[in-house]
Amino acid sequence: MTPTSASAKASTRRSASATSSPSSPPWPAAVVPEDPLEQLPRGAVVAVAMSGGVDSSLVAARVADSGLQAFAITLELWPGDREMGARNCCSTDAVHDARAVATDLGLAHHVWNLEPEFDDRVIREFEDEYAAGRTPNPCVRCNERVKFGLLLDRARAAGATHIATGHYARVGRRGRRFSLHRARDSRRDQSYVLHRLSQAQLARAVFPLGAVAGKGDVRAEAEARGLATAGKAESQDLCIAGDSLRRELARRLAGRFQPGPLLDATGRLVGEHAGLPFYTVGQRSGVAVAPGRPDAAPLYVLELRPSDNGIVVGSRELLAKRSLEAADCSWTDRAPAAGMPCAAQMRAHGAELACRVAYADVRGELHLELIDPAEQIAPGQSVVLYRDGEVLGGGLIRAAA
């Protein structure tokens, strides 16, 4: 199913609460099960996506205990995976650990190499976004196009009806429609990077850890079950994180990115930058200026300009924005109405900010009005809207004012 598009102009207030919506949603509350495995129909076949970490290992154990038919899958997505250490989810060590746990649980384990597809569906856009002076978030695209796209399709072709992962999020239902919600453990919530999942994808997604109160509970249960991965360090959020990615991007982008002018808000040259991909809006570290600059106040990145390979820097107060525009929006169920109060999140582990939908339409645009000024709104990042912990959807930030 193709997600509905929308456009809206938003303004966000820093909110102490993750559920700071002043009025009730214009539709009935969704029913969110405590244990999603208990809600699966008899005869369901579950493909468990295993990264070799403690989270997906516990998911595999719970699926095995459920009595449902199941098998396990580990993906190879990036050529550098095999040279990474055990903390990365697709390394050689991780594949070995996933296979060991699956074998102990009596689950058939498969390793599927999707490197070409991952490169085509995630990495190339990653490069193009950098080239356009934006700060991309590949995890969002990977979940949409690979883990709950290609992987789900292949798992279904292999006989699975559902796919279970170690993501911290929850799926609910409102009549015949599915909804996506924050995990109970707000510190580990991953609904932000899952916000583009369609109704068809949510119908097949199972997140058994969504109701877990904390990581300590996961480790305690894994230890009680005797899982070999119970004591492993946490894996990187970004599967392709690490030196191998940086080296490969440096090779691919050689010649596309060069040092360029560092300008203040008036257009005055104040220094030189090392290349657009090394900076993002709001960044302070790494912003070097010419010696003898009279104003010693710290400088922050305000804008990346690929048109002239320039970066605009200025004082922190110039980062504050009261509205933003997003494009390529995807809505979990329906587009929010103009005037709807909600909360926005603009980084994978960022705080919620109170906002109001100014405009949303089916062409994929979103305008938000921020209740209080917000900093570090980086074009290319996703803005995700929430209402009482439920994901409404989101899109790619294009501009802020």
Question: What would the pLDDT profile of 115-172 be if each residue is shown by its tens digit?
Answer: 999 999 998 998 889 888 898 889 999 999 999 999 999 999 999 999 999 999 999 9
pLDDT, averaged across the chain: 86
Q: pLDDT class for 250, splitting at 50, 70, 90? A: low
Q: Is the dihedral of CA 186, 187, 192, 194 positive or negative?
A: negative
Q: Domain residues of the chain, as ranges?
A: 29-245
Cα 260 to Cα 253: distance, rounded to the nearest angstrom? 16
**pLDDT tops 80 at residue 390:** yes
**pLDDT tops 80 at residue 107:** yes
**Per-residue pLDDT, 126:** 87
> Percent of the chain at pLDDT above 90?
68
> Percent of the chain at pLDDT above 70?
83
Digit-coded pLDDT (tens) for 52-99? 999 999 999 999 999 999 999 999 987 755 554 445 555 678 899 999
Catalytic positions, written as ranges: 142, 239
Q: Which residue has the higher pLDDT, 352 or 213?
A: 352
**Per-residue pLDDT, 298:** 85
> What is the model's pTM?
0.87
**Per-residue pLDDT, 274:** 87
Cα 171 to Cα 191: distance, rounded to the nearest angstrom? 10
Residue 36 exposure: Cα atoms within 13 Å on the Cβ side: 31
Cα 344 to Cα 346: distance, rounded to the nearest angstrom? 7
**pLDDT tops 50 at residue 329:** yes
Three-point CA angle 356, 7, 210, nearest 5°: 70
| Other residues' Cβ atoms within 10 Å of the Cβ of residue 43 | 8
Structural domain 29-245, CATH architecture? 3-Layer(aba) Sandwich (3.40)
